[in-house]
Amino acid sequence: LKCDSVVSEISAGPGTVNFTINRELLAKTVLQQVWKDGSEYGVKSELFSTVPRQKAVIEFSSPNIAKKFHIGHLRSTIVGNFIANLKVALGHEVVRINYLGDWGMQFGLLGVGFQSFGNREKLKSSPLQHLFEVYVQINKAAEDENTKKLAQDFFRKLEEHDEQTLSIWKQFRDLSIEEYIRIYKRLGVHFDEYSGESFYQEKAQEVLEMLEDKGLLQKTIKGTGVVDVSEKKDLSAVCTVMRSDGTSLYITRQFLIISFRDLAAAIDRMNKHSWDTMIYVTDKSQSNHFQHLFQILKLMGYDWAERCQHVSFGLVQGMKTRKGEVIFLEDVLNEVRSRMLQNMTSTKTTKEIQDPVETAEKVGLAALIIQDFRGLLSSDYQFSWDRALQSRGDTGVFLQYTHARLHSLEQMHGNAELTDVNVACLQEPDAISVLQHLLRYDEVLYRSSQDLQPKHIVSYLLTLSHLAAVAHKTLPVKGSAPDVAQARLCLFHAARSVLANGMKLLGITPVTQM
């Protein structure tokens, strides 16, 4: 074996052959690549050269209209946003869909409740809070036969398109979406399409007829409509799709109940978007629901059902604010912002920040996201404010702190210029560690693109931040010879650039001051 321009040394050990890479070449190649590709560094790698560009439809978040944005929807929102960001970065076309729970018997209850306890002024000023209060009040009377009957009548009128009833429902829906959009803006999340169960009323009827035509719909003795999804076709595994009173089942995604609307929505999206893959992001309690949904679509003759995927996640436990157990997402966002602001105010440097509240919001959100993304998505985890908000250790605060620190280094010493960098000045072990790590970024993106798990990127960015923190201590820019200072500045610029790229994929906005 001969050395060449890439391999500078070859030696034999006990049962091994050791290759030493030309370190100047390593430094030059990595820095040039990061500089040239910018925000596309890693995604232009040959690892992705054989991956076909596809169109993906991603359904995520999907809260229930007229109920406050529940904390349970946080995971679906940030996980779906991450998957969409990653696919877009890799050159795929993505349609982000929010499929709202905006139909069903609960609207019968809510309509009756609003007639009894509603207040139009409160509805306009804080719609979700007010509708939630109304829903809680009417729910107490939900067992009362008269209330039940009124709720059924209200919902029947909705189904029959009664104008007055529809206009109340539409107001609930429109005001709720307005408030959701405001919350999504705080999370840095957007959607291409707000869809919902209400869109598929007529189409659900078509699905019913298709199931009947194909002989897939069977009636039980009680008159319930079921589809046999068992392998041996012996009714050992059935899926309920219709109540005995003839109404289709809505939004009851638990209990192996499939609504015609879910089937209609999947078929409609294929007709509308001609997607290559469709991903549903919900908690793992709905795994059976999606398994059966895909099975029924396949029985109906839709082979594309094999390209549908359910990305499931576990539950977050122990999320409390100072006021106690948390139910609503906005309370968490306010809490993390105020705690972060408090932490920042107690440090000496915060006084110079232009917009401390905005910064606290971004850093707080990074803390929530990193704590959520550190493990496997399917795992439940115990939430801890103290752990999430530590400025040292493996947290989102530490990532933001590292980014801000590297940014201020560049501000202080002027921007690095790659043209005249002497790479011979970057041969210290701590510089080589950072360079080697930067070289691995594409592998990490590839792993995440294969299993849609953010933890690979999180772990990579945390290691990068720790390596950059060590290098920042041992390789000072200030007081070094000009060519050494310039080379180190280039190294830190490359580290900050890749750190920012990775953070953005996770749904985090990097801050420049902290």
* Domains of the chain (ranges, CATH numbers): 319-506 (1.10.730.10)
Find the catalytic residue in 67, 157, 362, 437: 67
Verify whether residue 456 is a known catalytic residue.
no
Tell me the helices (H) and strands (E) count for the chain, helix number first.
Answer: 18, 14
What string of H, E and C letters represents the secondary structure of 6-51? Answer: CEEEEEEECCEEEEEECHHHHHHHHHHHHHHHHHHCCCCCHHHCCC
Q: What angle do CA 223, 294, 255 make, to 5 degrees?
A: 45
Verify whether residue 403 is a known catalytic residue.
no
User: Cα–Cα distance between 459 and 295 in angstroms, integer?
Assistant: 36
Closest residue by Cα to residue 329 from 61, 70, 64? 70
Burial 223-253 (b: 16+ CB within 10 A, else e): ebbbbbbeeeeeeebbbbbbeeeeebbbbeb
Helix (H) or strand (E) holding 60: none
Find the catalytic residue in 44, 70, 148, 273: 70
Q: What is the DSSP letter of 71?
A: T
Verify whether residue 70 is a known catalytic residue.
yes
Residue 19: the pLDDT is: 94
CB atoms within 10 A of CB 472: 19
Helix (H) or strand (E) holding 380: none
Residue 60, both tokens: 């995520």
pTM > 0.85: yes or no: yes
Residue 16: the pLDDT is: 96
- Counting as low any pLDDT under 70, the low residues of the chain are 66, 242-258, 321-327, 348-351
Residue 252: the pLDDT is: 37
Residue 321: the pLDDT is: 67
CA distances from 418 to 29, 34, 92, 444, 485 (A): 11, 11, 31, 26, 12
Strand 277-283 and strand 55-59: the pairing is: parallel
Find the catalytic residue in 68, 73, 289, 472: 73
